[in-house]
Amino acid sequence: MEKKMPREMTGAELQSMLKSTINFKSLGGVKCRELDLSPEEKQWFFDCKIGLFVHWGLYSVLGQGEWAKFNEQIPDEEYEALADELGREEFHPEEWVEIAQDFGARYMVMVTRHHDGFSLWDSPGSYRHFTSWERGPHRDYVKEYVQACREAGMKVGLYYSLMDWRFPGYFDPEGQRENAELMKKEVYDQVEELARDYEPDILWYDGAWLAHKGSDTSSAWFWEPDKLNKMARSYRPGLLINPRSGWEGDFYCDEGSHEITGKIIPVPWEKNMCICSGCSWGWMENDPVSDFDWLIRMMVNVVCRGGNWLVNIGPDKNGKISDEIRNRIHEVGEWLRRYGESIYNTMAGPYEPVDNVYGSTFHENTVYLHILDREKFGELYLPYLDNEIEAAHLFRGAEISVHRTEKGIRLPLPASAKDQTGSPDTILVLKMKKTVKEKREQIHFTGKE
């Protein structure tokens, strides 16, 4: 049977029709129907919902952010010497996996190489052997991380930046085409190594834009991302790939700590943000840690709009994170251990979110209503659907009366509801008469305005 072509939607239509603050990066990537995965092949990603991102590399020695080499114009020799200080104390990536599990994450994404070109694995394709295997710690951190993830039952994501500041051709791909092609060869060699030797579940690209101009998609002419990703998929057929290589990808990405509002997004997407202030993805000393309530609100707002939540930590040069970050991670994980049934293995809907008031998730005929403002919720009516509420109760708590009126459905909350979760999210469980229908569509966001 011929595949159904996705409906095209411009970036402006996304903002207007869905009235959303969500800003997808790298819209309008190269189309390649041969690379499309089926909804069934992506389902595990939808079900996981929560992921942990880890930015760690030579920049972690400096504590000035992952762009330190470029921003401070650090000479190559001085910067490369930092490899001798990376991971010198006793450190194992198993600690990151333990942190991810404590957080409630079901998948991880580790930076294997950032824009500085330093690779955290034994990479024969690395230009001038700039790797953790050849330099400094003499360890294959990617191998250790993947093994730790697999042993813990965690899905494995590998981040890889296509740009490499060591190549003058990156900054002038037309004028120094031979050097730029050498950088491109490094990319193809290393992506092949990662896909073939480490068998990731997610390939998470970044840095495809050239000369720090334009976007990932505007530089697709150079990288030929359809060719690159066909090669990666030849080793890992079910590999999920984000859109940051210039190909449209298997899911969209919204980056940053801005508020999430608007309607349910009917395509696979992921929110990428830091657990700290967001001024840096790499380690910075005394970077403020986000409030617990704010993180729970963000998670609920993302999941109730159909997204996954990928939260970043930046370990220090020895792979450690502060007690403050650990405590916050534990707090979020504790919440998920209690109420994760309303997050994991769910889909967004069937009720469209009301910004800063409520949203919903569902699994089969069970709907979880996430209420972020109990007072305002008490003033609203739920709309009638083509599916009837048969019963309602607080999550593992008292039954709730269902009042059907001409204006809609009222679900009065008891006074005890305010203390239900110890967080801004009060959860109601609605048992529906029929299985709830998904709102997922096939849409191609063109990036055009």
325, part of any domain? yes
Name the more confident of 230 and 396: 230
The model's confidence at residue 444, banded by pLDDT at 50, 70 and 90, is low
Are 9 and 446 in contact, with CB atoms under 8 Å apart? yes
Residues 112-133 have a mean pLDDT of 98
What amino acid occupies position 50? Answer: I
pLDDT of residue 335: 96
Q: Which residues of 279-313 are buried (b: 16+ CB within 10 A; e: fewer)?
A: ebbbbbeebebbebeebbbbbbbbbbbbbbbbbbb
Last residue of a domain, one of 320, 342, 364: 342
293, part of any domain? yes
pLDDT of residue 89: 80
Summarize pLDDT for 145-173 with one digit per residue, the tens: 999 999 999 999 999 999 999 999 999 99
Summarize pLDDT for 396-418 with one digit per residue, the tens: 899 999 999 999 999 999 877 66
Are 270 and 260 in contact, with CB atoms under 8 Å apart? no
Its domain, for residue 155, covers 26-342
pLDDT of residue 355: 97
Residues 104-119 have a mean pLDDT of 98
Beta bridge partners of 267: none
pLDDT of residue 254: 96
Residues 337 and 353 in one domain: no
pLDDT of residue 368: 98
Q: What are the structure tokens assigned to 425, written together? A: 């999210």
Residues 60-80 have a mean pLDDT of 96
8, part of any domain? no
Secondary structure letter of residue 372 according to DSSP: S
Last residue of a domain, one of 314, 342, 370: 342
Residues 336 and 365 in one domain: no
Residues 364 and 281 in one domain: no
pTM of the complete model: 0.95
The model's confidence at residue 25, banded by pLDDT at 50, 70 and 90, is confident
Show the 3-state SS of 139-175: CCHHHHHHHHHHHHCCEEEEEEECCCCCCHHHHCCCC
Q: What are the structure tokens assigned to 238, written together? A: 């079910």
311, part of any domain? yes
pLDDT at 449 over 60: no
Angle, alpha carbons 108-151-112 (nearest 5°): 40
Residues 311 and 391 in one domain: no
The model's confidence at residue 442, banded by pLDDT at 50, 70 and 90, is low
Question: How many distinct structural domains can be found in the chain?
Answer: 2
Are 314 and 276 in contact, with CB atoms under 8 Å apart? yes
| 412 cis-preceded (ω within 30 degrees of 0) | no
Phi, psi of 88 (to 5 degrees): -75, -35
pLDDT of residue 1: 38
Average pLDDT, the chain: 93
Q: Determine the Cα–Cα distance for residues 425 and 39; give it in Å rounded to an integer.
A: 30
Query: What is the DSSP pairing of strand 240-241 with strand 252-255?
Result: unpaired
Residues 76 and 129 in one domain: yes
Euclidean distance between the first and the last CA atom of the chain, given in angstroms as a whole number: 33
Q: Determine the Cα–Cα distance for residues 76 and 261; give it in Å rounded to an integer.
A: 43
Residues 278-306 have a mean pLDDT of 96
Last residue of a domain, one of 342, 368, 397: 342
Residue 133 belongs to domain with CATH number:
3.20.20.80
pLDDT of residue 422: 65
Residues 302 and 153 in one domain: yes
The model's confidence at residue 124, banded by pLDDT at 50, 70 and 90, is very high
Residues 91-95 have a mean pLDDT of 92
In the chain, % of residues over pLDDT 90: 86
179, part of any domain? yes
Residues 97 and 160 in one domain: yes
Q: Determine the Cα–Cα distance for residues 400 and 402; give it in Å rounded to an integer.
A: 6
Residues 115 and 246 in one domain: yes
390, part of any domain? yes
Residues 278 and 255 in one domain: yes
Summarize pLDDT for 235-288 with one digit per residue, the tens: 999 999 999 999 999 999 999 999 999 999 988 999 999 999 999 999 999 999
Q: What are the structure tokens assigned to 26, written together? A: 């790298």
Residues 331 and 258 in one domain: yes
pLDDT of residue 3: 47
Residue 201's alpha-carbon distances to 110, 181, 195, 237, 442, in angstroms, are: 12, 28, 9, 10, 22
pLDDT at 127 over 60: yes
Residues 256 and 303 in one domain: yes
Q: 77: how many CB neighbours lie within 10 A of its CB?
A: 7
The model's confidence at residue 22, banded by pLDDT at 50, 70 and 90, is confident
Are 27 and 217 in contact, with CB atoms under 8 Å apart? yes
Residues 429-436 have a mean pLDDT of 97
Residues 185 and 299 in one domain: yes
208, part of any domain? yes
The model's confidence at residue 2, banded by pLDDT at 50, 70 and 90, is very low
pLDDT at 426 over 60: yes
186, part of any domain? yes
Residue 399 belongs to domain with CATH number:
2.60.40.1180
